[in-house]
Structure 1
Amino acid sequence: MKQYTKEFKYNLKLAFPVILGLLGHTFVGFADNIMVGQLGTAELAAVSLGNSFVFIAMSLGIGFSTAITPLVAEADGANNVKDAKNALKHGLLLCTVLGLFLFGVILLGKPLMYLMKQPPEVVELAIPYLDLVAFSLVPLVIFQAFKQFSDGLSQTKYPMYVTLIGNAINILLNYLLIFGNFGFPELGIIGAAIGTLVSRISMVVLIWVMLKQTKKFHKYVTGFNFKKIENQILNKIMKIGFPSALQMFFEVAIFTAAIWISGVLGKNPQAANQIALNLSSMTFMVGMGLGVAAMVRVGNQKGLGNFKDLRRMAQSIFLLTFLLEVVFATLFLIFRHWLPTVYLDVNDTANIVDNTEVILIAAQLLLVAAFFQISDGLQVVVLGALRGLQDVAIPTLITFIAYWLIGFPICFYLGLYTPLKSTGIWIGLLAGLTASAFLLYIRFNILTKKLILNTEE
């Protein structure tokens, strides 16, 4: 056991800034939800519906950008500056093109809202909100390219600083523009969208300036010649990036489907789903941060060709994740009735019936969410380790099977055709995440044993 636990300190040190940075992304949604929730359940449901489209596109952008990290980590392990810089340059180009493409797809997909049997008042509020938040994907995906590069060099603190600053900008603009404080116009949920857009543009500018001013990074982030593009490097990034994007897409899409199914049940189940999903997303970021640590450490050891240490370090992160997720599961169980009250104005007598129903449903969902914390955390760290090995094709198939052949049918049937309703949707999510964690670990176990055996021969 000691050979695994002795790695905990370094793994946490590497993962902690990533976790804070990822929590910053999630906290933007948390701040939006709390502030918008004060306007009413229809507004909260509208933000949920609008973000459901954005989250799908965001998953593709962020998933694709993760291809940069293992390439940079492997180059760093082999002390190859040129390859690391090339991974960043070509990654930036591809992420910019992808961000613009995703923005266009969301604009074209807006009419789908009217065909999804969502409450009409929610759709009318969601469409103008979506326009601005969709455009914010472009700077977000560009920021992700810089972030994944920095993570690949094991310098995870710089993206964290930038994300926290961006988060503060978002909260300030929300406060001023949602409610019209200090003489600013009262824009409601449009104010939340403006805050998100401005904060994400600021993050791109800040991370580039910060990396450029840091001696260690200066040689990597300056002197780009975008006229000289190498197809071989583009193909290498796309070979890892597109399957990684699909992996994240399959998971985010099933959670988005849960939002849509909840909308069919009504605005209160949809608002409750959004609360439970937002809380679960924050704890998931701990697993995701540890997944980045697994990707970096595995990528380094792959560059060194040391597969025994690679396996030991990865399994240490799996164990650490399991222990932390058990703690989160316990907190969800204990505080499941109180946590939803943070999102709503419980003293609002005009909406007391709606708010009471939302809190009751959300507490039931958090009961299920407490158990899938463990599966969710484990599947994302094992996936990170496999990305570090640059093994993406089989894991992509596994995530599709787990979420869409196992999880989604259970969500759909239990949510719409049984008395379980919202709780049934989340039982389906639990089934999909558990299947994913189990199958991905089998893949990692087989692959690393094979690599060790081949090295010994």
Structure 2
Amino acid sequence: MIKVMTYPGHFRAIAVLGLPLIGGHLAQFAIGLTDTVMLGWYGVEALAAVTLASSYFFVLFLFGAGFGLAVMPMVATAAAEENETSIRRSTRMGLWLSLIYAALTIPFLWWSYPIFILLKQEPQVAETASQYLRVAGWGLIPALLVMVLKSYLAALERTQIVLWITVAAAFVNGITNYALIFGNWGAPELGVMGAAIASVVTQIVSLICVVIYAVRALPEHSMFQRFWRPDWEMFSSVLKLGVPIGLTLLAEVTLFATSAIMMGWLGQVPLAAHGIALNLASATFMVHLGLSNVATIRAGNALGRRDRAHLEKGAIAVTGMSLVVSVLTIVLFLTCAEPLISLFMEADEPRRPQILAIGTGLLAMAALFQLVDGAQVIALGLLRGLQDAKIPMVMAALSYWVVGIPASYYFGFTRGMEGIGIWLGLVIGLACAAVLLMARFWLRSVREIGVPAE
């Protein structure tokens, strides 16, 4: 007999599972922020080169991350079915696919210079970025493997270790960057190459920690015994779920990359204000992302038990918690805009008044942005938990590319609203995704739970 969980029970379960995941996402965000700050201290050219290189790396990483994210609902469902063989099979094939993808992608990182030139980047910046990627690019292999193993552990509700491994990685990244970029503590001053080495070291340390934990804490899964043996049926299952998830992630990052390009057309000051507002919005988005991961895990559990009532109540609870976070963020962004923006600028910055004026308006839009962005990422998390990814991929791509990007251009330039208009387009695109994805979940996907398979 299935025990019916009350809403307070769902709230408690989501909090226990979600808080470490939220902390892990914030720690991961801190790694990127640390790189930006330290390279900014080192020099503008270094910062520009690594910003370009990191953006390029991130796009390639995101698609590969789809395989790791595919493992999460598959393991959660198998765990609910008490099928340890499927837990091992799906995780192993997630690792296989990540290794294959990394091997195919490394050449694009090694020979990135001509690609940057084709993208009309300055030759000196392109050269430095390419040199950075020839070292940092090798970090793609451990980074993708870590993504798979973290998803495996999170799906088994071992989220505390996911948090602590990410916090340890953030600490290692900060220390190694400080030593190798600037030549502190007797280390050589390597500048950009120091940042590249620090990136690889951080990923390797993360991989070692997560492998040691998985082997020692979960020996019953024998994860790495006879690892070389293929499992083509499960390989195909992970591939079919992972590719649309990866493409969905790429579609979203394209929306934000295009908005940055449009802001750049308006000039350096609007672009700087955009960067600050987006950093603040990204930090608070980590909370929604953590809740989305919880939605995936708990929906996967419900799928394994064919428990529709649990799925529906859990979905309402996690959506409600995301809504509360959005409301608190809206209040924060509307009442504390100037102090928040000031955190990213020196007090004597000559363009400070202009950045504050533009940034305050963008942060008001970011408040509205949080509401719809949170809703769409929760819907994606729920659908992934039910292993429903192909149609959501199409819905997301249409929302981001067909609605969001044209709306940003229309309001930003045709209607002359500039930065506010560009962000309004983001809001419209994300709102469209939220409506379509939530409708997909509630009107179709959730109804299939509890219906015996044919």
TM-score in terms of structure 1 length? 0.90
Report the equivalent of 1:136. 139
Q: Name the CA shift for 1:203/1:249 in 2 (closer, same or farther; >3 Å).
A: same
Query: Secondary structure at the residue paired with 2:350?
Result: helix
Report the equivalent of 1:231.
232
Distance 2:61 2:247 in 1: 11
Which region of structure 1 is more displaced relative to structure 2, 400-409 or 51-60?
A: 51-60
Letter in 2 for 1:147: K
Q: How does 1:408-423 map to 2 (within 5 A)?
A: 408-415=405-412, 419-423=416-420
Structure 1 stretch displaced more, 75-84 or 2-11: 2-11
Change in CA separation of 1:334 and 1:137 when aligned onto 2, cut-off 3 Å: farther
Distance 1:208 1:30 in 2: 26
Separation in 2, partners of 1:410, 1:403: 10
Partner Cα separation in structure 2 for residue 382 and residue 392 of structure 1: 11
Closer/same/farther in 2, CA of residues 97 and 426 from structure 1, 3 Å limit: same
What is the correspondence of 1:91-240 to structure 2 with a 5 Å cutoff? 91-116=94-119, 123=126, 125-214=128-217, 217-240=218-241
Q: Give CA-to-partner distance per residue, 1:151-200, whole Å, 9 cap, x none.
A: 11111111211111010011112222333333333344443333222111
Alignment of 1:47-62 (within 5 A): 47-62=50-65
Q: Is the 8 A contact 2:273 2:358 kept in 1?
A: yes
Aligned to 1:346: 347
Structure 1, 160-169 or 353-362: larger mean CA deviation: 353-362
Counterparts of 1:118 and 1:421, CA distance in 2 = 24
Does the residue aligned with 1:136 lie in a helix, a strand or coil? helix
| Residues 23 and 381 (structure 1), Cα distance of their counterparts in 2 relative to 1, 3 Å cut | same
How far apart in 1 are the matches of 2:228 and 2:84?
A: 20
Cα distance in 1 between the residues matched to 2:346 and 2:189: 19
Look up the match of 2:78.
75
Partner secondary structure for residue 442 of structure 1: helix
- Shift of residue 265, structure 1, vs aligned partner: 4.1
Call closer, same or farther: CA 1:229–1:52 in 2, change over 3 Å: same
Instruction: Give the secondary-structure state (helix, strand or coil) at the position aligned to 1:182.
Output: helix
Quick one: percent identity of the two aligned structures? 32
**Match for residue 253 of structure 1?**
254
Change (3 A) 1:366 1:240: same
> Once the 2 structures are TM-superposed, how far is the Cα of residue 136 of structure 1 from its aligned partner?
2.0
Contact 1:54 1:134 in 2 (8 A): yes
**Aligned residue pairs, count:** 450
After superposition, the C-alpha distances for 1:18-69 in whole angstroms (9 at most, x for unaligned) are: 1111222111111122223334655544443332212212221222311111
Cα distance in 2 for partners of 1:25, 1:161 equals 11
- Contact 1:414–1:424 (8 Å) recurs in 2: yes
2:429 aligns with one of 424, 432, 457: 432
Do 1:174 and 1:192's aligned partners in 2 also have CA atoms closer than 8 Å? yes
Greater mean deviation of Cα atoms: 61-70 or 411-420: 411-420
Aligned to 2:381: 384
**What is the deviation of 1:412?**
3.5
Question: What's the counterpart of residue 36 of structure 2?
Answer: 33
Structure 1 residue 118: deviation in Å?
Answer: 5.2
Alpha carbons 1:38, 1:344 under 8 Å: kept: no
CA contact (8 A) 2:88 2:223 kept: no
In 2: Cα distance, 1:43 partner to 1:242 partner: 34
Asked if 2 retains the 8 angstrom alpha-carbon contact of 1:395 and 1:440, the reply is: yes
Contact 2:166/2:206, CA 8 A, preserved across alignment: yes
Q: Alpha-carbon deviation of 1:78?
A: 0.8
Q: Deviations over 1:91-142 (max 9, x none)?
A: 1111111223333334455434334455677555544334444332221111
How far is 1:276 from its partner?
A: 2.5
Match of 1:242, SS state, is helix
Give the equivalent residue in structure 2 for 1:398: 395
1:374 aligns with 2:377: no
What is the deviation of 1:430? 1.4
Between the aligned partners of 2:138 and 2:410, the Cα distance in structure 1 is: 35
Distance 1:179 1:104, change over 3 A: same
The SS at the match of 1:229 is coil
Q: Gaps (5+ residues) in structure 1?
A: none
Distance in 1 separating the partners of 2:356 and 2:39: 16
Q: What is the DSSP-based 3-state SS (H/G/I as helix, E as strand, rest coil) of the residue aligned with 2:82?
A: coil
Match of 1:308 in 2: 309
In structure 2, distance between residues paired with 1:345 and 1:331: 22
Q: Partners of 1:15 and 1:196 in 2: how far apart?
A: 27
- More deviation, 227-236/109-118: 109-118
The corresponding residue for 1:444 is: 441
Task: Give, as a single letter, the amino acid of the residue that structure 2 aligns with 1:389.
Answer: L
Give the deviation of 1:240 after TM superposition: 0.8
Matches of 1:171 and 1:227, distance apart in 2? 35
Q: Where does residue 287 of structure 2 map in the other structure?
A: 286
Q: Deviations over 1:352-373 (max 9, x none)?
A: 3356655554443322212111
The ranges of structure 1 where at least 4 consecutive aligned residues each deviate by more than 6 angstroms after the TM superposition are none
